[in-house]
């Protein structure tokens, strides 16, 4: 089985690569590439994302045909895809970080700044927070509710259809921190930085 981590120069993805390789051992082939043919022939794809919504979308757009290839992979071929942090946020129709930016439009919704209640909550939200699992999701198999995961973000994904929400976290308000829509999965937290529970989520995704 081939799992491809999409490398489109969005920040440092070494921890994502290392954690997937640690979980995969020698059983699964982990590739890191932006080569369209390699992505197309993959069994699963991981879309990481660090930095701003706009910089990540710009990064995808800078590689000719990449967005079309990813959309075909996820929407037409219905193969499993996992978005991490801004990788999840880009599923939205639109994002409002820096400037209004068109997203991938895979899961209808928007990405807006977390309401910090006039400074009561620090932004970015950095650190460990409990997650509340709200629906049975393939990536949460054998993960206990209220497990702590590691977050770094100032913006949140607000889906129009609440049934895609797999987990929330409480920070200023109820923030969507994981989604599942058919074969499309996403986490706002960083599983690659979330210790054993994060590795278990990566293992669950590889096992789908």
Question: What 3-state class would DSSP assign to 81?
Answer: strand
Q: Answer whether the bond into residue 169 is a cis peptide, omega within 30°.
A: no
- From the list 171, 154, 187, 199, the residue with the least C-alpha distance to 15 is 199
Active-site residue identified among 56, 97, 156, 190: 190
**Residue 120: burial class (beta carbons within 10 Å; 0-12, 13-18, 19+):** exposed
3-state secondary structure of 110: strand
55 within 8 A of 89, measured Cβ to Cβ: no
Dihedral sign for Cα 74, 75, 78, 82, please.
Answer: positive
* Residues across the chain: 208
190 flagged as catalytic: yes
Among residues 97, 156, 180, 192, which one is catalytic? 192
User: What's the Cα-to-Cα distance from 174 to each of 1, 2, 114, 152, 156, rounded to whole Å?
Assistant: 37, 35, 10, 16, 10
Of 56, 85, 153, 177, which one is the catalytic site residue?
85
- Say which residues have a Cβ less than 8 Å from residue 56's Cβ, sequence separation at least 6: 8, 10, 49, 50, 86, 87, 89, 90
Clarify whether 56 is annotated catalytic. Answer: no
Active-site annotation, residues: 85, 190, 192
């Amino acid at each position: 089985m081939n799992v491809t981590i999409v490398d489109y120069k969005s920040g440092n993805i070494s921890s994502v690569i290392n954690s997937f390789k640690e979980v995969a051992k020698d059983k699964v082939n982990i590739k890191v590439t932006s080569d369209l043919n390699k992505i197309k022939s993959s069994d699963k794809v991981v879309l990481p994302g660090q930095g701003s919504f706009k910089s990540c979308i710009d990064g995808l757009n800078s590689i000719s045909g990449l967005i079309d290839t990813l959309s075909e992979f996820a929407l037409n071929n219905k193969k499993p895809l996992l978005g991490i942090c801004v990788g999840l946020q880009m599923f939205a129709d639109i994002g409002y970080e820096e400037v209004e930016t068109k997203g991938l439009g895979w899961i209808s919704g928007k990405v807006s700044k977390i309401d910090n209640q006039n400074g009561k909550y620090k932004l970015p939200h950095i650190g460990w927070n409990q997650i509340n699992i709200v629906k049975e999701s393939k990536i949460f198999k054998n993960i206990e509710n209220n497990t702590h995961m590691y977050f770094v973000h100032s913006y949140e994904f607000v889906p129009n259809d609440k049934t895609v929400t797999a987990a929330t976290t409480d920070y200023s308000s109820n923030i969507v921190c994981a989604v599942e829509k058919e074969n499309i999965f996403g986490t706002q937290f960083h599983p690659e930085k979330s210790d054993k529970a994060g590795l278990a989520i990566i293992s669950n995704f590889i096992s789908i």
